[in-house]
């Protein structure tokens, strides 16, 4: 017999990092304002650390889905793999040229395009898809807040989240 309903447990798991950050921050504020000596100063640092952890936890919580969709996502050494019932494949993050969010189909998918390869489409609710947040955050100049906003917008369109800078641009010579 479980103490909590499955829905409540899933919600607590989704927001666990944010809740831990809030708890650490609250302990830090308590030490900062209601104790003295060294513990007083440690409390300030603990409050800041907890606030940062809560901020990161909120971002990750917004990214997470139920994880009960088709297929399994894995990430090993900057290589994203997806194996589903109909499709699958591998993409190296270093070879990635475009990351898009496609909400036009029956299930929303991440579309990862690499140079010279077929696009890899990963459902947002695939098992292990929460690990994609850290993989996507490692892309240069990605705007994670814009990505999270697009995920939750509910609009049925395809939007490019990140695109690799074109490094084959011709150089501009003065003469």
Residue where a domain terminates, one of 22, 42, 63 = 63
Whether 129 and 120 have beta carbons less than 8 Å apart is answered as no
Q: What domain count does the chain have?
A: 2
Provide the residue range defining the domain that includes 43: 6-63
Per-residue model confidence as pLDDT tens for the chain (175 residues): 678 888 888 888 889 999 999 999 999 999 999 998 899 999 999 999 999 999 999 988 888 876 678 899 999 999 999 999 988 999 999 999 999 999 898 889 999 999 888 999 999 889 988 889 989 989 998 998 888 888 888 888 899 999 988 655 444 554 4
Q: Which two tokens stand for residue 8?
A: 């409540």
Residue where a domain terminates, one of 15, 32, 63 = 63
Q: Are residues 78 and 151 in the same domain?
A: yes
In the sheet with 96-102, reading across from the earlier edge strand, the strands are: 120-123, 109-114, 96-102, 158-163
Whether 156 and 103 have beta carbons less than 8 Å apart is answered as yes
Q: Are residues 22 and 104 in the same domain?
A: no
Q: Are residues 57 and 79 in the same domain?
A: no
Q: What is the pTM (predicted TM-score) of this model?
A: 0.73
């Amino acid at each position: 017999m479980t103490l909590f309903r499955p829905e409540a447990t899933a919600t607590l798991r989704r927001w666990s990092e944010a809740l831990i950050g809030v708890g650490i921050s609250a302990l830090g504020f308590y030490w900062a304002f209601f104790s003295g000596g060294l513990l007083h100063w440690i409390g300030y640092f603990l409050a800041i650390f907890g606030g940062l952890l809560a901020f990161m936890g909120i971002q990750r919580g917004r990214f997470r889905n139920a994880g009960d969709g088709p297929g399994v996502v894995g990430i090993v050494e900057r290589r994203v793999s997806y194996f589903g019932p109909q499709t699958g494949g591998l993409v190296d993050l270093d070879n990635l040229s475009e990351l898009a969010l496609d909400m036009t189909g029956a299930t929303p998918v991440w579309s990862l395009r690499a140079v010279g390869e077929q696009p890899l489409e990963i459902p947002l609710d695939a098992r292990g898809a929460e690990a994609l947040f850290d993989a996507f955050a490692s892309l240069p100049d990605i705007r994670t807040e814009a990505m999270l906003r697009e995920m939750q917008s509910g609009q049925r369109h395809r939007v490019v989240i990140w695109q690799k800078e074109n490094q084959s641009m011709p150089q501009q010579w003065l003469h």
